[in-house]
């Protein structure tokens, strides 16, 4: 019993310390794979020793010291006696740094290391899947099984993704540094994309039996909050965080008693999480204060804020939402944004106007297999009383939808058009 309590405490320490530990070690050994191995070795040492010795007063420093000691041992072992002279300069330099007393007190340095690590795990040389897996593992402190469960893939697949990603980073000689000023915007965008991918997989699962997976939303929020604290001057960082806080505020109202999705219009707004609403509105203000030209995440957050401020669907400022979608459509040129804009237009100016816009999107290749296109069309047709056509659209939407509860909702809406 006592040892299982210690193990849980070690898990907790790991979640708190692992990102800083791996980041600090990466700075020294210049290789994220080696750094993670050393950190894992330190974790193993903790699991062996802490159940009897108790948890040290400064567990972070303890882990760092253990990892460094292991690093020194490894380097020395690699260099046999007769080859000692061949110890190359770089290794010597690493060895010296590993031998330095602990630098855990230099908090700012450590924080910059965490940011460097984030830019590394979200580096454009990696595939999207690899960025997500590596970021969750090295910065979110998630284990391979946890990531596998989150994305409904096998543990082996995740492990391989992580190994391959680390190899790619090493082979591409991706440096452990903050991006240069001219590359910064693109690199920040890459980091934000990874965080939002994680969030979205939790917020509207693309596949599987569950409609939402709150744990993934929490992981994404945590990464977003970390990034906002590390890069307080970047408007889109606050914009994304605002968007996630506001969307997460609706999570519990988004699921019905049987686990089925509940649409925004049908949600009990008293069940929204008002602490998160306030946090989201605060982050949005911060983003807006930092720039005059709102980026795509800030615009989406501003749209979410219109909903958050409204006490009901009727009281929602739909014309403002349309205007914000105009801005977002101009910025992204995305047909999905156009589709959302059509929904807002229908709310602001009637279903007829919305349907006209939806119909103009019918030939968009990007939307051909997107279930929300027929779903929106069905909704507008139903509101116009064209029930037979609406029925067909909902059936088509259900066919295209991979998420079980969402498909059931679409089928029930199709059925309702028959009555």
Assigned token pair, 220: 């994404």
Number of residues interacting with another protein: please give it, by CB under 8 A: 35
Nearest CB to another protein, comparing residues 18 and 340: 18
CB of 54 to another protein, least distance (A): 12
Q: Which of residues 254-313 bind another protein (CB under 8 A)?
A: 255, 257-259, 273, 275, 279
Q: 235: part of which helix (H) or strand (E)?
A: helix 235-248
CB of 138 to another protein, least distance (A): 15
Nearest CB to another protein, comparing residues 226 and 301: 226
Neighbour tally for 259: CB within 10 Å:
13
Counted residue by residue, the chain has a size of: 419
Assigned token pair, 175: 């440096």
CB of 262 to another protein, least distance (A): 11
Task: Find the part of the chain contacting another protein (CB under 8 A) among 79-87, 118-126, 209-217, 411-419.
Answer: 209-217
Nearest CB to another protein, comparing residues 114 and 382: 114
Site string for another protein, 111-150 (x = CB under 8 A): x--x------------------------------------
Residues 167, 192: contact at Cβ < 8 Å? Answer: no
Task: Decide: helix, strand or coil at residue 255.
Answer: strand
Nearest CB to another protein, comparing residues 230 and 384: 230
Q: Which of residues 77-116 bind another protein (CB under 8 A)?
A: 107, 111, 114
Interatomic CA distance for residues 213 and 201, integer angstroms: 7
Task: Decide: helix, strand or coil at residue 261.
Answer: strand
Q: H helices within 291-334, ranges in order? A: 296-309, 318-332
Residue 186 touches another protein, criterion: CB under 8 A: no
For residue 112, the Cα-to-chain-centroid distance in whole angstroms is 20
Nearest CB to another protein, comparing residues 117 and 321: 117
Site string for another protein, 40-59 (x = CB under 8 A): -------------------x
Residues 271, 252: contact at Cβ < 8 Å? Answer: yes
Site string for another protein, 215-254 (x = CB under 8 A): x--x--xxxxxx--xx-----------------x--xx--
Phi, psi at 404, each rounded to 5°:
-55, -60
Residue 12 touches another protein, criterion: CB under 8 A: yes
Residues 376, 394: contact at Cβ < 8 Å? Answer: no
Nearest CB to another protein, comparing residues 283 and 379: 283
Closest by CA position to 322, among listed 300, 294, 341? 341
**178 φψ region: left (φ > 0), alpha (ψ -120 to 50), beta (else):** beta
Nearest CB to another protein, comparing residues 214 and 335: 214
Which residues lie closer than 8 Å to 125 by C-beta, 6 or more apart?
A: 168, 169, 172, 174
CB of 297 to another protein, least distance (A): 17
- Find tokens 């959302």 and name the residue: 340
CB of 141 to another protein, least distance (A): 8
CA distances from 40 to 44, 45, 98, 201, 340 (A): 6, 9, 16, 28, 45
Pick one of 3, 16, 109, 266: the residue that binds another protein (CB under 8 A): 16
Task: Find the part of the chain contacting another protein (CB under 8 A) among 12-20, 168-176, 178-186, 283-291.
Answer: 12-20
Binding site for another protein (CB under 8 A): 8-9, 11-13, 15-16, 59, 107, 111, 114, 210, 212-215, 218, 221-226, 229-230, 248, 251-252, 255, 257-259, 273, 275, 279
């Amino acid at each position: 019993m006592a040892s299982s309590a210690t193990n849980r405490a070690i898990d907790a320490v790991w979640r708190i310390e692992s990102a800083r530990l791996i980041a600090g070690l990466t700075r020294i050994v210049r290789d994220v794979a080696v750094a993670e191995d050393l950190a894992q070795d330190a974790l193993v040492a903790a699991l062996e020793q802490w159940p009897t010795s108790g948890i040290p007063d400064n567990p972070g420093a303890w882990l760092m010291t253990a990892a460094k000691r292991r690093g020194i041992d490894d380097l020395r072992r690699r260099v046999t006696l007769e080859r000692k002279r061949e110890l190359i300069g770089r290794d010597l330099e690493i060895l010296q740094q590993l031998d330095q007393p602990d630098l855990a007190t230099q908090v700012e340095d450590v924080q910059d290391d965490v940011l460097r690590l984030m830019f590394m795990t979200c580096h454009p040389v990696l595939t999207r899947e690899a960025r997500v897996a590596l970021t969750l593992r090295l910065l979110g402190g998630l284990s391979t099984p946890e990531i596998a469960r989150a994305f409904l893939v096998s543990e082996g697949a995740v492990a391989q993704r992580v190994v391959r990603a680390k190899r790619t980073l090493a082979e591409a000689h991706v440096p452990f540094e903050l991006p240069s000023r001219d590359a910064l915007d693109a690199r920040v965008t890459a980091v934000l994309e990874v965080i939002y991918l994680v969030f979205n997989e939790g917020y509207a699962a693309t596949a599987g039996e569950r409609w939402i997976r709150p744990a993934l939303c929490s992981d994404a929020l945590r990464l977003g909050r970390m990034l906002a604290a590390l890069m307080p001057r970047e408007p889109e960082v606050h914009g994304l965080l605002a968007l996630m806080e506001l969307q997460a505020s609706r999570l519990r109202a988004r699921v019905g008693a049987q686990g089925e999705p509940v649409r925004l219009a049908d949600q009990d707004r008293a069940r929204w999480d008002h602490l998160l609403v306030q946090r989201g509105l605060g982050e949005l203000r911060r983003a807006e204060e930092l720039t005059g030209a709102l980026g795509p995440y800030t615009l989406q957050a501003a749209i979410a804020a219109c909903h958050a401020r409204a006490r009901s669907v009727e009281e929602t400022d739909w014309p403002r939402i349309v205007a914000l979608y105009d801005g977002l459509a101009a910025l992204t040129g995305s047909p999905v944004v156009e589709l959302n804009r059509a929904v807002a237009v229908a709310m602001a100016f009637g279903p007829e106007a919305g349907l006209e816009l939806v119909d103009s999107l019918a030939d968009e290749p990007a939307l051909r297999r997107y279930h929300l296109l027929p779903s929106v069309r069905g909704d507008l047709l139903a509101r116009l009383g064209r029930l037979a056509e609406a029925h067909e659209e909902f059936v088509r939407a259900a066919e295209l939808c991979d998420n079980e509860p969402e498909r059931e909702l679409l089928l029930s809406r199709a059925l309702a058009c028959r009555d």
